[in-house]
Amino acid sequence: MIDFIKRLWESTSFRLTLNYSILAIFTTLFLIGFFYVQVFGALRDEHLRQINVAVQRLSIAYEVGGREEILRMIELTLSDRIDSGQEIYLLLDEFNHTLVGNISEIPGLNNLPERQVVEVQIKHIDALSEGNVRVTKLSGGETLVVGHELGTLIELRAMLSRIIVTSMILALMLVILGAYVFSNELKYRVGRIRLLTEQVGAGDISKRITSESEDVFGLIHHDINRMLDKIESLMQGARHISDTVAHNIRTPLTRIVGKLRETQNLPGVPPHVREAQQDAIEEVENLSVLLGKLLQIAELNAGVQRQNFKACNLEVIAEDVLDLYSFFAEEKGVTLQKKKIDRVIINGDSNLLASALANLVDNAVKYAHSHASVEIKKRFDNKISIIVEDDGPGLPESEYENVGKYFYRFNNDSEGFGLGLTSVAAIIELHRGELIFSKGISGLKVTIVLPA
């Protein structure tokens, strides 16, 4: 349950929906609170008005007819049973003896201010209640108390408070449910786009997303499909151009090599001419190899070969590469050690992975003083590490960021075109991996990290 809540909270769509919904709830709560205050303010003002009107009416009656008249009017008011359960009337003589009224007493009556409506406790025969009262001293020494019970108002306030709290709880539950439903819907809509990007990223540029509606997402789907159509058209054009260039360049190069070999075998060719022809042949062949490598790297970077991915056994690949380079290492006087090799199956191109590993092993054996090693192991983060290490001179750490760039060579006197590690980096990127250079125990350590 905790994991479910955590995943739900990590959803951006859920949090956005929840935040906006909570904002709407608080806005509604503010409006309800304003209505609540206004309504109860109006009811209280009405109570005060009724109390003041009643005091004024009874005071006039006292001035006109004296004690008998005010007693008669109070008894008449209490006998009409209109709001008799809510109205408060009490008339005391000059000795604070009750003359007439519908309450027993008001605690602390003598300490209450005159001609002001105050909230006090009202004592009945068998209970206490609250009410608003106004105390008036009459000219004959009598004390007139007029007020209104607050019981109904308090009950109404409590009932509205319960309704508001219950409504807010229900609204919050509905908001969470709505946010969850909206989050799932948005996740489904965005998930289709993410699935398409994964398929296109895997090299299947022919995939398209079907539009189910003409809303905003439908328009986005149409835009993505148009973009993919354009990209596919451009890639096909670029591939056609590269194929044409490769053919139109390689064919003349092959013809040049052929012609040079023909003239090289002609009788009477001076030795220095034959040597120059051989140098020209080698240069042209190197140029052809360079062209082939550049085209291969370009194809790797395009991600087209992901379509050929299938299950690969890294253990078998490593064994084959080590067998291939064991004789070369023996000739160099280098011990090529096979460290821990876990049996690992990944989805990829076995030929490309073998080529990348062979390139790294070739460099390790070439630059090692006496020892090189290969290790394949599973990691705890569901990834795989392929480690190639040697005890050679290594590289300065400042050069690590340059390794893998086109035509980069730390030592310009070394053989090659500077494309070997560029090819390795392209192969690892094609497999969504990472190529890491670091300082080993005594030489260079190269780590390939691949997803399991």
Residue 363 sits in a domain whose CATH number is 3.30.565.10
435 lies in some domain: yes
Distance in angstroms (rounded) separating the CA atoms of residues 259 and 261: 5
> Is 70 exceeded by the pLDDT of residue 59?
yes
Query: How far apart (Å, rounded) are the C-alpha atoms in residues 380 and 182?
Result: 35
Looking at 156, 175, 201, which one is the last position of a domain? 156
Helix axes 314-332, 350-367, angle to 10 degrees: 30
Domain contains 273: yes
2 occurs within a structural domain: no
What average pLDDT does the chain have? 78
The CATH number of the domain holding residue 81 is 3.30.450
Note whether residue 180 is domain-resident: no
355 and 446 in a single domain? The answer is yes
> Given this model, what pLDDT does residue 181 score?
78
pLDDT of residue 48: 85
Radius of gyration of the chain (CA): 47
Residue 224's pLDDT is what?
82
Same domain, 285 and 150: no
Task: Tell the residue number behind the tokens 């003409």, with chain if given.
Answer: 214
Whether the Cβ atoms of residue 337 and residue 281 lie closer than 8 Å to each other: no
Q: Which of 302, 328, 356 is the last residue of a domain?
A: 302
| Domain co-membership, 49 together with 146 | yes
DSSP-assigned letters across all residues of 19-55: HHHHHHHHHHHHHHHHHHHHHHHHHHHHHHHHHHHHH
- C-alpha distances in angstroms, 422 versus 52, 406, 410? 96, 6, 13
Predicted model pTM: 0.47
Task: Give 217's contacts (C-beta < 8 A, 6+ positions apart).
Answer: 189, 211
Using CB atoms within 10 Å of the CB of residue 333, give its burial: 0 to 12 exposed, 13 to 18 middle, 19+ buried.
exposed
- Show Cβ contacts of residue 31 under 8 Å, excluding neighbours closer than 6 positions: none
Q: Which class for 13: exposed (0-12), middle (13-18), buried (19 or more C-beta within 10 A)?
A: middle
Give the pLDDT of residue 317.
85
Considering its fold, how many domains does the chain have in total?
3
Task: Give first-to-last CA distance, the chain, whole Å.
Answer: 28
Neighbours of 183 (CB within 10 A): 19
Q: Give the best-scoring range by mean pLDDT among 44-58, 220-234, 265-279.
A: 44-58
Whether 204 is in a domain gets the answer no
Cβ atoms within 10 Å of 435's Cβ, excluding its own: 20
143 DSSP β-pair partners: 92, 137
Domain-located, residue 162: no
* Residue 335 · residue 371 · CB < 8 Å: yes
pLDDT of 302 over the 80 cut:
no
Residue type, 187: K
Instruction: List the structure tokens of 293.
Output: 């490598």
Q: 39 and 100 share a domain?
A: yes
291 shares a domain with 373: no
Query: How many CA atoms lie less than 13 Å away from 288 in the CB half-sphere?
Result: 17
Residue 166 domain flag:
no
For the beta carbon of residue 427, count every other beta carbon within 10 angstroms.
Answer: 26
- 171 domain-assigned: no
Residue with tokens 């919904």: 21
Contact 428, 403 (CB under 8 A): no
Pair 71, 122 in one domain: yes
How many percent of the chain have pLDDT more than 70? 82
Does one domain contain both 298 and 330? no
Contact (CB, 8 A) for 364 and 339: no
Report angle CA 42, 48, 49 to the nearest 5 degrees.
Answer: 85
Q: Which pLDDT does position 106 carry in this prediction?
A: 81
Residue that wins the pLDDT comparison between 19 and 7: 19
- What's the confidence (pLDDT) of residue 202? 60
Sole residue written with tokens 């209505």: 35
Q: In angstroms, what CA-CA distances link 47 with 34, 35, 44, 89, 161?
A: 20, 18, 5, 14, 21
Percentage of the residues of the chain whose pLDDT score is greater than 90: 0
Report the alpha-carbon distance of residue 174 to residue 180 in Å, rounded: 10
When mean pLDDT is compared over 58-67, 98-107, 428-437, the highest value belongs to: 58-67
Collapsed DSSP state (helix, strand, coil) of residue 335:
strand
Q: Are both 263 and 340 inside the same structural domain?
A: no
β-strand partners of 348: 310
Per-residue pLDDT reduced to its tens digit, 320-369: 888 888 888 888 888 888 787 777 888 887 888 888 888 888 888 888 88
Expressed as residue numbers, the domain containing 329 is: 309-451
Regarding whether 150 and 25 lie in a shared domain, the answer is yes
SS3 451: strand
Q: Tell me: do 296 and 338 sit in the same domain.
A: no
Could you give the 3-state DSSP secondary structure of residue 303?
coil
pLDDT tens-digit map of 123-175: 876 677 888 888 888 888 888 888 888 877 788 888 888 888 888 888 878 87
Q: Which residues contact 219 (CB under 8 A, 6 or more apart)?
A: none
Residues 6+ apart with CB under 8 A from 300: 352, 423, 426, 427, 429, 430
Q: Rounded to whole angstroms, what are the CA distances from 140 to 143, 298, 411? A: 9, 113, 121
What is the pLDDT confidence band of residue 75, given thresholds at 50, 70 and 90? confident
Residue 201 has pLDDT above 80, yes or no: no
In this prediction, residue 415 carries a pLDDT of 64
Instruction: Give the separation between CA 437 and CA 267, rounded to whole angstroms.
Output: 54
Q: Verify that 294 and 318 share a domain, yes or no.
A: no
Please indicate, yes or no, whether residues 233 and 345 belong to a single structural domain of this protein: no
Of 118, 135, 156, the last residue of a domain is 156
- pLDDT confidence bin for 229, thresholds 50/70/90: confident
Tokens of 171: 């609204």
